[in-house]
Amino acid sequence: YAVRCAYYSSDMKTRLENNHVLLAEVQAGLERDEFIYYLQPKCNLNTGKIVGLESLVRWKHPEKGIVAPGYFIPVMESNGLITELDMKVWEQVCQTLQDWIKSGHKVIPISVNVSRTTMLQPDFTENCRRLKRQYEIPDGYLELEFTEGVIVENHDIFREIVKGLQEHGFSCAMDDFGAEQSSLNILKDIPMNVLKFDRRFFERGEYEERGRAVVACMLNLAETLKMETVAEGVEDMELVDMLREMGCDFIQGYVYARPMPAGDYREFMER
């Protein structure tokens, strides 16, 4: 027999204990409805007009203030609480869209992030459709963002989910493309509507020329596949100019606007 040993260090013990504390805190936060969402505009590179918004969850923590998702999403993902969170954000976004429609405010599509666990729930598509119906959201105003890593593992399941969603008026985006090992097979197999390039895709440095050639090719390919292209995390005008030249459709990043509380968005638009 091969003998296998696992070492359990005190460091691991501390980490586990910390996770437990955080988990209990997150659970209490969910019960107290402390999770809200911010909106970040996505704009057309040529006209400067806002064409969409991405919802980004935040925890309105009673002591810590506004907390970004990097702090609480990993622990929620490890135990399934993430689905409850995703659906809460989803419902708040639907409510906002309904309010805008009813008040005659200009309505812009909003996208929401979907975690791996949420997407693989058997009733995921049905839940999305139910909320869209319940809040009377017309086709084309809700977009779902799936991260590339999730899709790589489940091509067949994912294709069926995407098709089912598109048939019911949802738009589907592939998030974080270029962040990890990007697979061209995904683009071939799954008819997504939007391709979002991760900021790491545009990193400058020793291989900048090569990087640009790849970006230009990918933008062309996306156009041929009739996918909209979004460059994410754009922080400077130099990159905006380069992306415009290369034919990228939209940008989202600090250069244009940071994520803001949903309530501040109207004021931002007026400005």
Binding site residues, Ca ion, CB under 5 A: 113, 145, 175-176, 232
Among 65, 70, 104, 122, binds ligand C2E (CB under 6 A): 70
Q: Which does 191 bind (CB under 5 to 8 A by kind): ligand C2E, Ca ion, none?
A: none
The tokens for 132 are 């869209």
Pairing status of strand 194-197 against strand 228-232: parallel
Q: Where are the beta strands (DSSP E) in 202-243?
A: 228-232
73 binds ligand C2E (CB under 6 A): yes
Element (H, E) at 252: strand 250-252
Integer-rounded Cα radius of gyration of the chain: 20
Nearer to ligand C2E, 216 or 257 (CB): 257
SS3 242: helix
Give the C-alpha separation, 269 to 22, whole Å. Answer: 37
- Segment 128-147, which members bind ligand C2E (CB under 6 A)? 145
Pairing status of strand 110-114 against strand 142-147: parallel
Residue among 34, 77, 32, 27 nearest 58 (CA) = 34
113 binds ligand C2E (CB under 6 A): yes
Q: Which does 249 bind (CB under 5 to 8 A by kind): Ca ion, ligand C2E, none?
A: none
92 binds ligand C2E (CB under 6 A): no
- Segment 207-266, which members bind ligand C2E (CB under 6 A)? 232-235, 253-254, 259
Element (H, E) at 249: none
52 binds ligand C2E (CB under 6 A): no
Least Å distance, CB 79 to Ca ion, is: 22
Where along the sequence are the contacts to ligand C2E (CB under 6 A)?
40, 56-57, 68-70, 73, 82, 86, 89, 113, 115, 145, 175-176, 232-235, 253-254, 259
